[in-house]
Amino acid sequence: MREVFHILLADDSPFFRTIERQFLQNTPAEIIEASDSEEVFTALRGKSPDLIFLAYSLRPENGVECCLKIKRDPDLCNLPIVLICDQYEEEQVGQAQRSGADAVLVKPLDRHLFLKTGRRFLDSIREPRHGCLIKVQFISAGEVCKGTGLDISSGGMFLDTAVSIRVGEVVDLSFGLPGHDMVLVKCKGLVTWTNYRPSPIKPHYPSGFGVKFIDLPEVLKKSLNTFKSR
């Protein structure tokens, strides 16, 4: 059974709270929401969160003022805060960094970066990954290559392959999902990490690389969230 944790999403915009909630929907997080600074402190006095995503745009106290107040409180100072600044407002980023915030993001929010930032403080902010043995074809540097997908989620997969590839490369992927009428999945993938010897990141994994799906259709994301290898 996976650990349940609490995340406070504090933003005056219902639109951005909805986006953040959707980013976290496939994790075991229990979401608490606040639409202004007063609701933030009400939430902190109630169900204590494990992490706060805090918007600069809050009122009557903005996100920086809330962060400073939280970090000065001896009972709350260790609570990790990700301060989210508005787009094109560079002075907000500097203020956020000086406020004691543990991390800073800028709107518009990128789902992958949002979840990656959250995992710095709560490792459980992960979508469910499913073990599998899926034959995958990918194109790298114009060459058609083959590998085997060993685990998969709606966000990406790990490929077991002897093909050497670099982080940051974008590859064309093609693979089928057993148990789903052999749905053929075609999408691009961004290589986010590699696992080559002599210095593998995960020694218990074979040689290969992890990819983040870039343009996966929403219907296939839903299939992957419920995927079980057969």
Secondary structure (3-state) at 219: helix
Establish if 216 belongs to a structural domain.
yes
* Statement: residue 25 has pLDDT above 90: no
| Nearest C-alpha neighbor of 227 from the set 137, 160, 149 | 149
Identify the sign of the CA torsion 230, 220, 117, 73.
negative
Domain C-terminal end among 99, 119, 139: 119
Kindly list the distances between the CA atom of residue 120 and the CA atoms of 7, 45, 63, 103, 180, in Å, as whole numbers in the listed order: 14, 24, 20, 9, 34
* Statement: residue 1 has pLDDT above 50: no
* Statement: residue 204 has pLDDT above 80: yes
* Statement: residue 220 has pLDDT above 80: no
pLDDT value for 177: 76
Query: CA 230 to CA 228: how far, in whole Å?
Result: 6
Establish if 73 belongs to a structural domain.
yes
* Statement: residue 50 has pLDDT above 70: yes
Asked whether residue 9 falls in the same domain as residue 112, the answer is yes
Q: Where do the H-state alpha helices sit in 101-217?
A: 111-119
Query: CA 8 to CA 33: how far, in whole Å?
Result: 6
Give the CATH number, domain containing residue 10.
3.40.50.2300
- Chain position carrying tokens 């040689």: 207
* Statement: residue 96 has pLDDT above 90: yes
Q: How many CA atoms lie within 13 A of 32 on its CB side?
A: 22
Tens-place pLDDT, residues 141-177: 899 999 999 988 888 899 999 999 999 999 999 998 7
Domain C-terminal end among 70, 86, 119: 119
Asked whether residue 72 falls in the same domain as residue 112, the answer is yes
Asked whether residue 115 falls in the same domain as residue 31, the answer is yes
Domain with 157 in it: 130-225
**How much of the chain, in percent, has pLDDT values that exceed 90?**
64
Q: Give yes or no for a contact between 28 and 56, defined as CB atoms under 8 angstroms apart.
A: no
Q: Give yes or no for a contact between 53 and 66, defined as CB atoms under 8 angstroms apart.
A: no
Establish if 189 belongs to a structural domain.
yes
